[in-house]
Amino acid sequence: MIFGKTIEELEKLKAINTSKEIMQQPDLWKETYKIIYDKRDEIKLFLKKNISKNTKIILTGAGTSDYVGQTALLELRSKINARIEAIATTDLVSNPKEYIEKDTQTILISYARSGNSPESVGAYDLFEKDITNISQVVITCNEDGELAKKAIINNNNLVLFMPAESNDKGFAMTSSFSCMLLATILMFDIDNIENNKIFVDLVSDQGKDILENNWNDVCNLVNYECNRVVYLGSGILKALSQEMALKSLELTSGKIVTIFESVMGFRHGPKSIINDNTLIIIMNSTDKYTNLYDLDLINEIYNDSGNHKLAVISYEKNEKLKDICDKCIEINGASVPEIYTVFNYILFGQMFGLFNSIKLKISPDNPRPDGTVNRVVKGVHIHKENF
């Protein structure tokens, strides 16, 4: 049984791949840890050789792969003395002049589930051609992808292959997202790789508990039958909210309008989305100061007039929360650093998208069978740049 359904039921619903891929993540996180641990000497050498205070590091990908870098960005800035940016391949390819600095030492870190997206390969080629001192990191779930094949033959590059099972067969990226994100966090804190095993083990165990025991809580959110959903978070959790919103939008084939915003930013216009059919989901920060702002908005939204619904997902046990929201979901177990909370928060967003898709009688493994949106992007022509 997965999420209360038999394998046969999930196959009939065309939800088997997405369900399995969400469910497998806690085990794959431990595999990802081992991959990074086993390559720790190679990673240390690469970082020592290529990073200085004058280095420019770009985290890149498209769609969910872009959101890996967006989610990791603030954490990496706190760890590394270099200029770090998260810029989508779609922006790098369409507007290269704005981002390429020919004479600046640059590391391009590419995230790719398949490694076959035209923009991923296009960005790789652009940077190889137009930057004098370039090294590239490819973090991918597909060792047979075009991006991996290009990168691995260059000794200046570092290629990290995620567990084979993370090359999700389903339409939506789930385990690919979380494994590539974890690899990034571990890689850029490689000197503490042994100590960080504690956090990987903790979130893996908590993740299993969530997937086995909290899926009914997510069903309760789905049963509100709201056709508008808002994900909110602060700092790192704002970036994660973007990925959670995309999962809802993708898996429901756009039938549920979903947006994301920062907790503080929501008041500045985006709050206009709220009507009686809106569900707002807030990821509670573990930072005590930041959490004060979370609580302010939770109070405000709960006391606003209307029949909208408010759910809060929290690592911190707070009895007050239960009185100021319609649904409070608490994660059991020890607290972890904020960056590690994202691995368990994302499970709720993935399950929510999956369960809504099933409820709406959409096939989660292929929500757009008409081919207008595809698992690997099609129809992109990479034009020759001239600058």
The DSSP-derived string for 96-127 is GGGT--TTS-EEEEEEESSS--HHHHHHHHHH
Rounded CA separation 50/45 (Å): 9
Which of 237, 206, 232 minimizes the C-alpha distance to 312?
232
Give the per-residue pLDDT at 194. 98
Which structural domains are found in the chain, ordered by start? 7-198 (3.40.50.10490), 214-359 (3.40.50.10490)
314-322 CB contacts, 8 Å cutoff, 24+ apart: 314/284, 315/284, 315/286, 315/341, 315/344, 316/284, 316/286, 316/291, 318/284, 320/295, 321/284
pLDDT of amino acid 317? 81
Reading the block at residue 386, the tokens are: 């001239």
pLDDT at 377: 62
Q: What is the pLDDT along the chain (387 residues), one digit of tens a residue?
A: 999 999 999 999 999 999 999 999 999 999 999 999 999 999 999 999 999 989 999 999 999 999 999 999 999 999 999 999 999 999 999 999 999 999 999 999 999 999 888 889 999 999 999 999 999 999 999 999 999 999 999 999 999 999 999 999 999 999 999 999 999 999 999 999 999 999 999 999 999 999 999 999 999 999 999 999 999 999 999 999 999 999 999 999 999 999 999 999 999 999 999 999 999 999 999 999 999 999 999 999 999 999 999 999 999 788 889 899 999 999 988 889 999 999 999 999 999 999 999 999 999 999 887 765 665 665 666 677 765
| Tokens (6 digits) for 92 | 């790098």
Question: What pLDDT score was predicted for residue 307?
Answer: 97
